Every structure is written in structure tokens, then in C-alpha cells.
């Protein structure tokens, strides 16, 4: 059957009104999960293809990133939704390896389906899969190679796939390692990645601090060195109600007295800010024009009406500033610091850069020729950042390009011979499922997956790191450890755990009990009301 049709059927599957149980429910879930996962195999690796998401009510979206695609799809089948939860969990856990996890999970599920058809009990299969996963983790531990600082570019470049670039990987390493040094851990929440349309990936740059998308007030300074930054959560203005509340203005004298009082209050707020030592003011709300004048007169850099709370929180973390709620009680302790604050124009975008911050936060500005491309670059960079951050905690790697999956499959098959026959079948199915990774990498590189897999299996009799090596000049089989195609240990371990967990959940489904949707419930109650009204009308007078 045409795969496109099959994915369509999954997206609009009409099981809402059905309540399936037993085999029918399991079958429905297994088919849905396998279809979903199969549709992701074409995007794996450096030669993976893009998917275009054209859901209604969403901007057009093009990507190869499993997490973004799955969370962008409006899936209806509960099993498909479950797979999305899995990808979300995986993304939160490691941030890379999502596509591989989905592929392996789907393979585990479709192979389990065959085993069930052959008469194996789902519980036995799940037990076999769990045993295989435990053994696989032991093998991964045996095969993991310790890495040093100078191996990090290879880890990052493998994660960047066909966007591999020494410049970009150096920028990513600089950012993540600096956060670790300054903050004590490589907390990815302290790294902001922003996409700016225009230019190429090579024009991307690092800001040792934070950036805001906005501009300085035209009348204020555009550049401040040794900045002391005040971030205001509340507007720097006096609401009409504050000044005039409960007051009945009788004549113009009273009105001007009232304005004077307002101005004095504004002056005292401005004085507090200046007294605290701020020379940069960032405000979430607006700043009264009179206060603007007072501040710019003192050479303060001002930006106001900044609505993005997350950006301000990142700015506060980067600079060490506190978000100020009560302006009249601001002190020097509330201010953040940056070596340089500057308004800059990048392509069509005005941004304010807070550079030279010392509190362990950084920003990567990622460029791309179009909005879609810049956003996709941002996603892939973020994935590489997340993978690297976890690698710094573990400093172990495994051969990439499908090498580790072929080796795991080989060793698991050998180990399975010691098990009783039914579990053996499940462990062998597990081994076959892992080989979906080299098969997908080969197919995506335009090679014959069967030929490649046969050759890899032959080479693995001697060398466990033989895998696919994709370069601009073509794809060949090589020693991936030597060639620097290496994946973090944590990513591969999570792939095994995540895939088994998802497969288990779906294989053990024994019923789909979907509650009616809110609309259906409403329709139903309206129908009941209509019947009751009709009945009343029909009653004899
Ligand atoms: N130059 C290369 N040659 C061969 N294989 C590569 C190369 N670069 C990366 N790979 C392999 O590609 C796979 C990763 O592909 P990809 O990044 O598309 O998926 P993922 O990491 O599983 O999921 P995601 O990045 O979407 O979270 C890994 O198996 C990795 O070893
Ligand atoms: Mg990846």
C-alpha cells in the first residue's frame, strides 16, 4: 500500500466512536505506531530527507527533526499520540537520537506483531525485549570509548549531520563548555538559540550573554560599555487612575498641580534607577515619555515594551540582574552587568546584544537563507547542544553510522542462543530491529540496504566500529571511530531504553477506551433536549 495513504489514514483514523478490545485494539495500536515510525526512517542521518508539515492553522513547516515534526503533527490515534509522548520524553532526557528511537520502537513493534501472529504471547515478547535491552546496555558499556576534549568536535559534527562545520561545532563547544565552567553544569536552559533569516549557517555567531529582538529608543544611546542593567517588570509610568483617583479637578491650577505631582513621582522613580547605578534600562511595559526624557538626558540606553518574558528571564540569568517589580525600591543589587550592550541590525532584524556577561548564560544566533531554513538550522544546533551537554557529563562515545547497532545485533544474537526458545525469538527480533538504523542510513544514502548490511555483518566479525561513512564525496563503509563519526554513549543508551519502553506500552495494549469528545457530548445533550422538546410539543393540550 502507498505509504502516503497509510500515514493519511493514521492521521485521520476514525476510532473515536469505537471501543476496541483485545487483539483488535493491540493490532490497531501496533499498526498505527509502525506506520508512524516507518515514515520517519527516510529522514535519518546526513542524507535524510525533509518533511513538509502543512497542517491547517499553522505556518508552513519544513524539518527533519523528529521531535519538532511529531509534536507538530495533529495525530488522532492514541498509539500515535503515545509515540509523541515518547519522543517528548526522549527529547527532555537527551535531546538527540529521537529519530533513531522512533525507528527502533516501530521496528520492535512490527516484529512483535509478526511473532504474535506466529503464536507468541505478547508478555513473553516484552520480557524478551527487556532482557535484550539489559544485555544491550551491558554491551554498550563494554564498547564505549572514553573521549577527551579534542574529540568533542567529532561528536558535535556527527550530530550536525550534513551541516557539519568546524566553525559551527567550535561555537557550540565554546558555548556549552563555558556554561559548564561558569555555572558548574552544562544546563541547556542557560543557552538561547535564535534564528535570524538571511545569510548562511557560517554567518552564525555567539554572544557571551543574551540578546533581545528589539531596538533602543531612537533618542537614547545605542551602545554602552560596562553596562549596569535594570530590568523592569512593571511600566515606568503613572496610570491615570493612580494620579487622579478619587480626585475632582475643579480648575486648571489643580490640574497643573496634579501633573506636577505626577512628574515628581516619575522623577523619584528615575532617580532611584540612576542612584542604583543603571545605565541600561529594559522594561517589559512602557516608559512614560517624561521619564524617557529624564533617562536619555543622563545617557541611559533604553528599550521598552518588551513582551517576551522568557527572553527577559534569560537576560536576567546572563547578566545577574533581578527582575524589578517595585521601581521605588531598586538598588544596585538588582542590576545586571555586561561588558557591552549594543543595538545591531542583522539582515532585516534589529537586535540588542548583551555581550561579555559572566553569569553562565550564552546565546547562539543562527542564520539561514530563509525563515524555514534558519529555523531548521536552529533545531539542529539545539539538538547538537543538548547531545553535547549530556556528553560532557559522561565523556564516552560509541561508533556511529550504524556501526554500534550492527555490533549490538551480532552480540545479542550470539547471546540469545543461551536462552529458552521463545525468549530467543524475541531477542533475535530485537537484534533485527536495531539493524533498521544502518538499513535506513544506507537507503537514505541511495545504497542497497541488503548489500550494505551483509557487508557490515561480515566486517563486524573483526572490527566492531565498521559503519557507514557519509561525506560530500559519497558514502562508503569505513571505521567510523577512526573517521570521527561518533555518537554520545548517553544518546544510544537512551535510544534503547526509549524504544523498548514505547514498544512495551503498545504491545501490551488490550483495549482502547476513548471517551467521547466534548463536541460529541454537547451534540448528544442537544439531541436529548430536542427530543424532550419534541415530546412536549406532541403532548395533547
Ligand atoms: N557522516 C556520517 N556518516 C554516517 N552516519 C552518520 C554521519 N553523521 C551522522 N550519522 C549517523 O546518523 C544518525 C543520526 O541521525 P539523525 O541525527 O538524523 O537522527 P537522530 O540523532 O536519531 O534523531 P534526531 O537528531 O532527530 O533527534 C546516527 O546513527 C549517526 O551515527
Ligand atoms: Mg541527531
Over residues 104-133, the pLDDT tens digits come to: 999 999 999 999 999 999 999 999 999 999
Q: How far is the CA of 499 from the centre of ligand 1 (A)?
A: 16
Range with lowest mean pLDDT among 68-72, 201-205, 510-514: 510-514
C-alpha cell at 529: 433536549
Rounded CA separation 300/278 (Å):
8
Ligand nearest to the CA of 51: 1
Q: What is the pLDDT of residue 56?
A: 62
Of 343, 335, 342, 301, the closest CA to residue 316 belongs to 335
Residues with CB under 6 A from ligand 1: 44-46, 48, 65-66, 96-100, 158, 161, 383, 400-401, 437, 441, 468-470, 485, 487
Q: How far is the CA of 425 from the centre of ligand 2 (A)?
A: 30
Q: Are 108 and 499 in contact (CB under 8 A)?
A: yes
Instruction: Report, as an integer, the average pLDDT of 157-171.
Output: 92
Atom of ligand 1 nearest to the CA of 91: 27
Confidence of residue 392 (pLDDT cuts 50, 70, 90): very high
Which residues are placed with Cβ below 5 angstroms of ligand 2, an ion?
96
- Check residue 515 and report its DSSP letter: P
- Spell out the residues 6+ positions from residue 392 whose beta carbon is closer than 8 angstroms to its own: 176, 177, 180, 186
* Position 307 pLDDT exceeds 70: yes
- Mutating to test ligand 1, I would choose from 42, 159, 161, 484 the residue with most ligand atoms within 8 A of its C-beta, which is 161
DSSP calls for 469-488? EEETTEEEEEEHHHHT-EEE
Assigned CATH for 3-146+397-513? 1.10.560.10
C-alpha cell at 350: 534589529
* Position 4 pLDDT exceeds 50: no
Strand partners for 223: 342
Name the CATH topology of 210-359.
Answer: GroEL (3.50.7)
C-alpha cell at 424: 530467543
C-alpha cell at 85: 509522548
Instruction: Report, as an integer, the average pLDDT of 42-61.
Output: 76
Range with lowest mean pLDDT among 54-58, 138-142, 206-210: 54-58
Rounded CA separation 488/152 (Å):
10
Q: How far is the CA of 45 from the centre of ligand 1 (A)?
A: 4
Q: Where are the domains of the chain?
A: 3-146+397-513, 210-359
Of 350, 380, 210, the closest CA to residue 280 belongs to 210
- Check residue 287 and report its DSSP letter: B
* Position 25 pLDDT exceeds 70: yes
Half-sphere exposure of 258 (CA within 13 A, CB side): 18
Residue 202 to residues 156, 211, 367, 454, 516: CA-CA distances in angstroms? 15, 19, 8, 39, 51
Of 160, 47, 88, 37, the closest CA to residue 443 belongs to 47
Q: How do residues 197-252 score in pLDDT, each as one tens digit?
A: 998 988 999 999 999 999 999 989 999 999 999 999 999 988 754 555 555 666 67
Q: How far is the CA of 400 from the centre of ligand 1 (A)?
A: 8
SS3 state at 24: helix
Q: Which residue lies with its CA nearest to atom 15 of ligand 1?
A: 45
Q: How far is the CA of 392 from the centre of ligand 2 (A)?
A: 17
Tell me the longest C-alpha to C-alpha distance in the chain.
100
Q: How do residues 418-449 score in pLDDT, each as one tens digit?
A: 998 899 999 999 999 999 999 999 999 999 99
On average, the pLDDT of the chain sits at 87
Amino acid at each position: 500500500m502507498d505509504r502516503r495513504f497509510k500515514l493519511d489514514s493514521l492521521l485521520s483514523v476514525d476510532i473515536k466512536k469505537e471501543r476496541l478490545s483485545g487483539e483488535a485494539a493491540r493490532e490497531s495500536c501496533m499498526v498505527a505506531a509502525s506506520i508512524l515510525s516507518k515514515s520517519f526512517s527516510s529522514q535519518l542521518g546526513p542524507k535524510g530527507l525533509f518533511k513538509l508539515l502543512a497542517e491547517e492553522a499553522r505556518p508552513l513547516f519544513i524539518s527533519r527533526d523528529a521531535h519538532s515534526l511529531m509534536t507538530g503533527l495533529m495525530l488522532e490515534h492514541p498509539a500515535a499520540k503515545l509515540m509523541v509522548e515518547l519522543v517528548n520524553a526522549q527529547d527532555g532526557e537527551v535531546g538527540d537520537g529521537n529519530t533513531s528511537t522512533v525507528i527502533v520502537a516501530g521496528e520492535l513493534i512490527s516484529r512483535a506483531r509478526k511473532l504474535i501472529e506466529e503464536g507468541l504471547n505478547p508478555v513473553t515478547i516484552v520480557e524478551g525485549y527487556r532482557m535484550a535491552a539489559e544485555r544491550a546496555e551491558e554491551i554498550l558499556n563494554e564498547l564505549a570509548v572514553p573521549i577527551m576534549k579534542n574529540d568533542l568536535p567529532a561528536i558535535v559534527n556527527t550530530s550536525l549531520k550534513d551541516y557539519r562545520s568546524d566553525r559551527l561545532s567550535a561555537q557550540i563547544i565554546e558555548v556549552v563548555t563555558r556554561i559548564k565552567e561558569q555555572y558548574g553544569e552544562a544546563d541547556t536552559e542557560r543557552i538561547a538559540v535564535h534564528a535570524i533569516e538571511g545569510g548562511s549557517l557560517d554567518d552564525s555567531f555567539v554572544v557571551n550573554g543574551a540578546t533581545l529582538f528589539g531596538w533602543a529608543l531612537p533618542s537614547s544611546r545605542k551602545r554602552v560599555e560596562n553596562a549596569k542593567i535594570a530590568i523592569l517588570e512593571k511600566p515606568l509610568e503613572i496610570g491615570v487612575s493612580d494620579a487622579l483617583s478619587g480626585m475632582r479637578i475643579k480648575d486648571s491650577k489643580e490640574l497643573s498641580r496634579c501633573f506636577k505631582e505626577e512628574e515628581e513621582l516619575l522623577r523619584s522613580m528615575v532617580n532611584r534607577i540612576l542612584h542604583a547605578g543603571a545605565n541600561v534600562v529594559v522594561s517589559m511595559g512602557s516608559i512614560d515619555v517624561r521619564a524617557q526624557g529624564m533617562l536619555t538626558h543622563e545617557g541611559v540606553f533604553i528599550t521598552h515594551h518588551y513582551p517576551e518574558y522568557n527572553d527577559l528571564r534569560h537576560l536576567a540569568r546572563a547578566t545577574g540582574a533581578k527582575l524589578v517589580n517595585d521601581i521605588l525600591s531598586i538598588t544596585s543589587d538588582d542590576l545586571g552587568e555586561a561588558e557591552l550592550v549594543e543595538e545591531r541590525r542583522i539582515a532585516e532584524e534589529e537586535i540588542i546584544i548583551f555581550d561579555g556577561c559572566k553569569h553562565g548564560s550564552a546565546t547562539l544566533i543562527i542564520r539561514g537563507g530563509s525563515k524555514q531554513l534558519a529555523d531548521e538550522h536552529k533545531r539542529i544546533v539545539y539538538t547538537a547542544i543538548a547531545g553535547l551537554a549530556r556528553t560532557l557529563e559522561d565523556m564516552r562515545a560509541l561508533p556511529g553510522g550504524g556501526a554500534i547497532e550492527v555490533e549490538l545485533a551480532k552480540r545479542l544474537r550470539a547471546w540469545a542462543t543461551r536462552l529458552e526458545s521463545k525468549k530467543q525469538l524475541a531477542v533475535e527480533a530485537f537484534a533485527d530491529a536495531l539493524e533498521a538504523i544502518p538499513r535506513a542510513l544506507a537507503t537514505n544514502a541511495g545504497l542497497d540496504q541488503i548489500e550494505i548490511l551483509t557487508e557490515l555483518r561480515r566486517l563486524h566479525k573483526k572490527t566492531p566500529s565498521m559503519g557507514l561513512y557519509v561525506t560530500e564525496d559519497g558514502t562508503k563503509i569505513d571505521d567510523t571511530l577512526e573517521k570521527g563519526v561518533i555518537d554520545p554513549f548517553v544518546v544510544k543508551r537512551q535510544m534503547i531504553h526509549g524504544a523498548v519502553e514505547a514498544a512495551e506500552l503498545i504491545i501490551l495494549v488490550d483495549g482502547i477506551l476513548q471517551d467521547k469528545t466534548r463536541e460529541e457530548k454537547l451534540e448528544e445533550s442537544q439531541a436529548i433536549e430536542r427530543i424532550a422538546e419534541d415530546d412536549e410539543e406532541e403532548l395533547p393540550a
